[in-house]
Amino acid sequence: MTNSNHEDYPLYRTIYCDLRDDIESGALPAGAKLPSIRECAENRGVSVGTIRHVYSLLSRDGLIEQRRGRGTFVASSTAELDDGSRKDKALAAIDRMIEEMSRLEFTTREAQIFFELRLRQMEDITRPVRVAVVAATSEERSIIAQSLDAIRIAGTFRIPFDDVLSHPGRLLSGYDLIVAPERLYKELKLLVPEQMPLMPVAFQLSRASIAEFMSLPKGVTLGILTISMGFADVMQSACERYLLEPLQIRRARFGIPESTRSFIEQFDIVALAPDYENLIDSKEMVLIQEFADKGKVFIRTEFGCDRGSMLYINDAIEHYYRDLRESLHS
């Protein structure tokens, strides 16, 4: 693959340009099969939503095509357009536009202003919606951001709630939508400008995690390990809701390996915070693996945003793009 220099572009645009350049240069020949969206996201270390958006832009521009049941391929028609013919067609289109603007008695400078304005409007329509994920704990920010990955046109930015309290103006610009846990909704509503959409979300345990908690035998000791103590209440409440027998539960947080070791040793079963693998340091990861190898039972707790919340957010994003399209043609 070639590596084009697009450092000033947004991440999705950089990836788009790299793939486009590879296709147009023949490094990715007509008919070549592209990696799946998930494979491409893993290879490049970005979200699934980012690559899904990139593929949609490439498809829109006729560079790739989806073949049902087979995957994504470089479109065969791209082989017919070399760099010279593409450049000639582009210049001819610009010449026609300049001639028409001149006929309408616009100056060259006015034509440039209109052209740049239109380019910015088109960029707004094709870029991902910028979503600020505001939450008090790293676990909550991770849960929301991962749930938003399923929405192909959402680019997420994780912001601690304390940062917003210290600098409320941080949310005044740069974002199209704010998503936060429902428990913070009232406080954020007082800090966020009225014109800024604010979407609350509720969390729910995955079916797999519910099944694990429901299957815990009577009399076992249960510990909860979180990254943030603020998330411990959320985890304990979720655990207790599905336990068939009441258990005495104790909580602690990651952060000091020796304290983590001592805490784990006290319990038959330890429930771990969601996405802990990406939120703790390597020493504690080694510690968890060490206990697991010795037979310690861990519950890798999984949460997601509830379906109603996600439908509400998806509808807000669709409405955002609908307004942009209408403004473009007004």
**What's the whole-model pTM score?**
0.60
What is the third-level CATH fold of 11-80?
Arc Repressor Mutant, subunit A (1.10.10)
Q: Provide the residue ranges of all domains of the chain, joining segments of one domain with +.
A: 11-80, 93-126, 129-202+308-329, 207-301
- CA 38, 43, 44 angle in degrees (round to 5)? 100
Sort strands 64-67 and 71-74 into parallel, antiparallel or unpaired: antiparallel
Q: Is 9 left (phi over 0), alpha (psi -120 to 50) or beta?
A: beta
**Could you identify the residue written with the tokens 């693998």?**
277
Residue among 236, 223, 229, 234 at smallest CA distance from 255: 229
Instruction: Say if 11-80 and 129-202+308-329 have the same CATH topology.
Output: no
Q: Reduced to 3 states, what is the DSSP secondary structure of residue 267?
A: coil
- Confidence at residue 124, expressed as pLDDT on a 0 to 100 scale: 63
**Among residues 90, 106, 86, which one has the least CA distance to residue 98?**
106
**pLDDT in single tens digits along all 330 residues of the chain:** 444 444 444 677 789 888 988 888 888 888 899 998 888 988 888 888 788 888 888 887 788 888 877 889 998 754 455 566 677 777 877 888 888 888 888 888 888 888 887 777 666 666 677 888 999 999 999 999 888 876 655 578 889 999 888 887 777 667 888 899 999 999 998 888 777 888 899 999 999 999 999 999 888 999 999 999 889 998 999 888 888 888 889 999 999 999 999 999 999 999 999 988 888 888 999 999 999 999 999 999 999 888 888 888 878 777 766 666 666 555
Rounded Cα distance, 4 and 86, in Å: 18
**Which H or E element spans position 181?**
strand 177-181
Output the six-digit token pair for 59: 């498809």
Task: Please determine, looking at this structure, whether the domain spanning 207-301 carries the CATH number 3.40.1000.
Answer: no
Instruction: Indicate the burial class of 152 (C-beta count within 10 angstroms; 0-12, 13-18, 19 or more).
Output: middle
Q: What is the CATH number of domain 129-202+308-329?
A: 3.40.50
Sign (positive or negative) of CA dihedral 317, 52, 27, 5: positive
Crossing angle between the packed helical segments 207-214 and 229-242, to the nearest 10 degrees: 70
How high is the pLDDT of residue 130?
A: 81
Residue 49 — φ and ψ, nearest 5°?
A: -60, -35
State the DSSP code for 174. Answer: S
